């Protein structure tokens, strides 16, 4: 893992070298082992790199060049099929000067140009400066494991692995994007291409960017396809799933440094650890996080897997007083981020890095195989709406507003919505009416695009089955914009590389080809994965209800943190800004404290937004 950065310009003055050095300094936590720079002969571009050494420890210094030195690459990630690609490229006459996977990229680019991304199997964000064309080429991996931010100011493009690395560049305007805050309060994250600042954008997953004298072009090069379905029967698909998943794990065990695994005790991480144990000739090092609150603690299940596969197991307990890390989390995430599971992920990364440099995890299993309860909820609501009909749903909603319990009212409101809006409403933390109550008038007037449109656009009604629409929408939104951001920032803050076998390209494409009822059947989620792995675990172990990697912040807010949160939100900088109505924040807090409604996610989002403004933001 690494940090990459750079500047490209076509102004006569050339690229400012001091800027790249400043950006690189802000990325050293991502690559504490080495750093390097490249300056184009024509002074049109500078590339910077900070390195966390994983493969080819001795000769993998970046930037890396092609044979004539005119094409340079800086790279963050891992290419798991690089040995296969290297053989092909050597056969075509390319000469390699290192054993690094990075060098494959520059030679593959020579062969295929912008289409080189189609052959790369792995996680990546990279930048190539082509001195023959005077062109900068940026790309991100298909799923969005590795981040990439960019900004164009004064005819100059700046890019970096993390947004905060661009904050100290005075040429980049720091005007807050109101729409980004709306998205954040709605979903707990800011989705690409947006960022907290209007001038800075994220390159979305599976996209490539080309910058040259005539301007900039951004193109999507890959998307998940749920339409063609496998010709295998169910038993054959189970065998193929184990084969592909085993191969994905095997490829991710390649490392010249110590390696281990996150182990929550859930289906996905347990599956990865089981496969690692079968493929490794020594005990796997496993790492787990728990909470004193038994409703949020899966440590007993992690211990059971550790005993079963005789791993070298390590644990850590997270308590409310562990929130002292929040200022560090805010600094490393760089923009408002509201998923509270960043806290255990931060601690898990820290304890893991004390023992290994690489950790495998189970990220992606829920999106690929239907692990979330909300899939079944939305599917049943869609079926009910089709049976009842939307006009009758609207009538029932109006009749029930004053007569029925709030939960049933909510269900009737959802039935009355079109399917895309119903999905969006269930996957968001603030609705239209709540927004009108919470947002200051000045704030609402600045919103050009409502955050609701983001998820509605991703709900692909052309797909035949409800579940495929939901899997696809989550794969394109929640997975890359929330979960992968969480793990990347927390792990890289500690110089730890995380690898995700479930997000292997071949496994993703195979999963898309499976019929939805092989994933969710009746009340059972992840059916094919659980049945494929059934013989690897005690009977019933994989069938317990999903707990998730959540934090008991709702209870903390009513207990140890009540006064702290109230004072912070009512008297801090956020409350004094023309963004939110103070009386609405007070009402949310009181309803939560008194147990009238559960507002834990809204309160947490407001709290983290407040911390971000204290660290980075300026009053609007």
Give yes or no for a contact between 274 and 532, defined as CB atoms under 8 angstroms apart.
no
Q: How far is CA 588 from CA 252, 394, 430, 601, 606, in A?
A: 45, 28, 12, 11, 11
Q: Within 13 Å and on the Cβ side, how many CA atoms surround 260? A: 22
Is the peptide bond between 286 and the residue preceding it cis, with omega within 30 degrees of 0? no
How many whole angstroms from its chain centre is CA 48? 24
Sign of CA dihedral 244, 246, 247, 251: positive
Rounded distance, CA 137 to CA 406, Å? 53
**In whole angstroms, what is the distance from residue 262 CA to residue 459 CA?**
31
Q: Which among 526, 500, 490 is positioned nearest to 351, based on CA atoms?
A: 490
144, 206 Cβ separation under 8 angstroms: yes
Q: Is the dihedral of CA 564, 565, 566, 571 positive or negative?
A: positive
Q: Which of 451, 454, 466, 440 is nearest to 575 (CA)?
A: 440
Kindly report whether the peptide bond that precedes residue 63 is cis, defined as omega within 30 degrees of 0: yes
Whether the CA torsion 574, 440, 581, 457 is positive or negative: it is: negative
The answer to whether 21 touches 61, Cβ cutoff 8 Å, is no
Please identify which of the residues 2, 116, 498, 512 carries the catalytic annotation.
2
216 DSSP β-pair partners: 211
Confirm whether 2 is a catalytic residue.
Answer: yes
The Cα-based distances of 218 to 73, 119, 139, 166, 204 in angstroms read: 19, 19, 9, 20, 9
Q: Which of 311, 335, 269 is closest to 501 using CA atoms?
A: 269
Residues noted as catalytic: 2
């Amino acid at each position: 893992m690494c940090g990459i950065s750079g500047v490209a310009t076509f102004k006569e003055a050339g690229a400012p070298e001091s800027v790249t050095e400043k950006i690189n300094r802000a990325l050293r936590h991502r690559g504490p082992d080495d750093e390097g720079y490249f300056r184009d002969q024509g002074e049109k571009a500078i590339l910077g790199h900070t390195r966390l050494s994983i493969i080819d420890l001795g000769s993998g210094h970046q930037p890396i060049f092609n044979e004539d030195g005119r094409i340079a690459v800086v790279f963050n990630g891992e290419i798991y099929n690089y040995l296969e690609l290297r053989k092909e490229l050597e056969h075509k006459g390319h000469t390699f000067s290192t054993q690094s996977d990075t060098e494959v990229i520059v030679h593959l680019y020579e062969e295929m140009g912008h289409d080189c991304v189609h052959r790369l199997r792995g996680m990546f964000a990279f930048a190539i400066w082509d001195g023959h064309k005077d062109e900068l080429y940026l790309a991100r991996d298909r799923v969005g494991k590795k981040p990439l931010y960019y900004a164009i100011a004064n005819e100059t493009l700046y890019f970096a692995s993390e947004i905060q690395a661009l904050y100290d560049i005075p040429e980049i305007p720091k005007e807050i994007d109101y729409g980004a805050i709306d998205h954040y309060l709605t979903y707990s994250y800011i989705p690409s291409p947006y960022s907290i600042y209007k001038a800075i954008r994220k390159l979305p997953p599976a996209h490539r960017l080309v910058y040259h004298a005539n301007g900039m072009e951004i193109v999507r090069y890959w998307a998940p396809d749920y339409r063609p379905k496998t010709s295998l029967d169910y038993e054959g698909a189970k065998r193929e799933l184990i084969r592909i998943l085993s191969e994905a794990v095997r490829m991710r065990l390649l490392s010249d440094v110590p390696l281990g695994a996150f182990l929550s005790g859930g289906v996905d991480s347990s599956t990865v650890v089981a496969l690692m144990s079968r493929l490794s000739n020594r005990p796997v090092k496993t790492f787990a996080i728990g909470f004193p609150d038994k409703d949020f603690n899966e440590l007993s299940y992690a211990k059971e897997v550790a005993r079963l596969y005789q791993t070298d197991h390590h644990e850590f307990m997270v308590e409310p007083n562990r929130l002292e890390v929040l200022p560090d989390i805010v600094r490393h995430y760089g923009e408002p981020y509201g998923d509270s599971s960043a806290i255990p992920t931060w601690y898990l990364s820290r304890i893991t890095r004390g023992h290994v440099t690489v950790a495998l995890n189970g990220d992606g299993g829920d999106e690929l195989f239907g692990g979330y309860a909300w899939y079944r909820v939305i599917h049943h609501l869609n079926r009910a709406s089709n049976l009842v009909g939307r006009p009758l749903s609207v009538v029932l909603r109006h009749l029930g507003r004053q007569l029925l319990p709030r939960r049933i009212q909510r269900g009737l409101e959802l039935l009355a919505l079109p399917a895309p809006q119903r999905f969006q409403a269930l996957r968001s933390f603030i609705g239209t009416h709540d927004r009108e109550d919470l947002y200051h008038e000045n704030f609402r007037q600045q919103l050009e695009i409502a955050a609701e449109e983001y998820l509605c656009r991703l709900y692909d009604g052309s797909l035949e089955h409800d579940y495929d629409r939901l899997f696809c929408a989550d794969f394109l939104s929640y997975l890359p914009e929330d979960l992968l951001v969480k793990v990347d920032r927390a792990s890289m803050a500690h110089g730890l590389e995380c690898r995700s076998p479930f997000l292997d390209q071949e496994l993703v494409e195979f999963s898309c080809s499976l019929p939805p009822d092989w994933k969710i059947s009746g009340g059972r989620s992840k059916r094919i994965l659980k049945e494929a792995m059934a013989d690897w675990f005690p009977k019933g172990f994989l069938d317990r209800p999903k707990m998730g990697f959540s934090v008991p912040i709702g209870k903390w807010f009513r207990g140890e943190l009540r006064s702290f949160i109230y004072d912070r939100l009512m008297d801090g900088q956020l409350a004094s800004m023309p963004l939110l109505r103070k009386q609405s924040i007070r009402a949310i807090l009181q309803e939560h404290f008194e147990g009238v409604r559960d507002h834990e996610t809204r309160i947490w989002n407001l709290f983290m937004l407040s911390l971000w403004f204290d660290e980075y933001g300026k009053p609007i």
